[in-house]
């Protein structure tokens, strides 16, 4: 198998036009779309986890799109994310437990980029709280240098991508339904690392979007809402449709 490599510079530069859209996430109006589910049916709560150098503000448009389409949606309350650390993970664990207790049902975790690593680790540690994990351009598989963010990560943290601060292995598939969303146009993460191997996730979906666009471009965000809704049927099959 060919070695994973970071996306080429030309793809990375194509990420730049998406920056204004993600910065304006709080101001953008979400709209209802056809999720392909028909009428009725109760949808589970969703917690959206932000990526490197972002926060709940960055994911607000994605969350509102899920919200207007029937999901009770929550930010992760991690503050500004510069890395995955025991302190940040503890905050995510507490937030997950809070949402689970509030609704009395398992939570869907949607993680954008590094946020997907948080999501996979949370589902590994606390499958009793998690309905499904959906990662968006998350480098959970393969070479940890096959992306254009590892140098930034190393510079911001007291640990490196080769010596993470947590013992958890994000490439190990959590014991819940696990979905990988990836793009061949991703300028930050190698597609192979965001798609993963068949034994590392249950299903995968390719979107036509760059890395930043996965969480802020309207077409991609609305398609992700549909993916989350449709994959819930598979999650119900995996978990027997049971509720706590």
pLDDT in tens, 20-66: 999 999 999 999 998 877 665 689 999 999 999 999 999 999 999 99
pLDDT at residue number 237: 73
Average pLDDT of every residue of the chain: 94
The three-class DSSP label of residue 188 is coil
Q: What is the CATH number of domain 9-23+43-238?
A: 3.40.50.1820
User: Are the C-beta atoms of 105 and 206 separated by less than 8 Å?
Assistant: no
pLDDT at residue number 39: 60
User: Are the C-beta atoms of 45 and 71 separated by less than 8 Å?
Assistant: yes
Of the candidates 237, 235, 233, 210, the one whose C-alpha atom is nearest the C-alpha of residue 221 is: 210
What is the pLDDT confidence band of residue 11, given thresholds at 50, 70 and 90? very high
Of the candidates 118, 153, 122, 154, the one whose C-alpha atom is nearest the C-alpha of residue 138 is: 118
User: Are the C-beta atoms of 225 and 31 separated by less than 8 Å?
Assistant: no
User: Are the C-beta atoms of 98 and 35 separated by less than 8 Å?
Assistant: no
Residue 82 has pLDDT above 50, yes or no: yes
pLDDT at residue number 243: 42
**Domain spans of the chain?**
9-23+43-238
Interatomic CA distance for residues 14 and 18, integer angstroms: 8
Close Cβ partners of 205 (under 8 Å, ≥ 6 residues apart): 179, 180, 181, 182, 227
pLDDT in tens, 202-232: 999 999 999 999 999 999 999 999 999 999 9
Residue 95 has pLDDT above 50, yes or no: yes
User: Are the C-beta atoms of 135 and 186 separated by less than 8 Å?
Assistant: no
User: Are the C-beta atoms of 52 and 153 separated by less than 8 Å?
Assistant: yes
pLDDT at residue number 127: 98
Interatomic CA distance for residues 115 and 95, integer angstroms: 14
Q: pTM value?
A: 0.94
pLDDT at residue number 43: 93
Residues in the chain: 244
The three-class DSSP label of residue 135 is strand
pLDDT at residue number 63: 98
């Amino acid at each position: 198998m060919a070695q994973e490599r970071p996306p080429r510079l030309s793809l990375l530069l194509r990420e730049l036009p998406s920056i204004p859209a993600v910065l304006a996430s709080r101001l953008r109006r979400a709209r209802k779309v056809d999720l392909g589910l028909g009428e009725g049916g109760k949808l589970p709560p969703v917690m959206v986890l932000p990526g490197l150098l972002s926060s709940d503000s960055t994911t607000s448009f994605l969350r509102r799109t899920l919200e207007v389409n029937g999901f009770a949606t929550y930010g992760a309350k991690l503050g500004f994310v510069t890395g995955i650390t025991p302190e940040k993970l503890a905050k995510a664990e507490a937030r997950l437990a809070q949402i689970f207790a509030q609704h009395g049902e398992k939570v869907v975790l949607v993680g954008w980029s590094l946020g997907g690593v948080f999501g996979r680790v949370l589902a590994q540690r606390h499958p009793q709280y998690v309905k499904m994990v959906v990662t968006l351009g998350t480098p959970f598989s393969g070479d940890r240098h096959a992306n254009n963010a590892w140098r930034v990560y190393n510079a911001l943290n007291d640990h490196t991508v080769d010596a993470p601060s947590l013992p958890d292995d994000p490439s190990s598939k959590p014991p819940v339904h696990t979905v990988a969303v990836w793009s061949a146009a991703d300028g930050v993460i190698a597609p192979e690392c965001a798609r993963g191997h068949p034994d590392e996730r249950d299903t995968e979906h390719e979107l036509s979007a760059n890395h930043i666009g996965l969480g802020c471009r309207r077409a991609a965000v609305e398609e992700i809402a549909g993916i989350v809704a449709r994959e819930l049927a598979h999650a119900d099959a995996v978990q027997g449709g049971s509720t706590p």
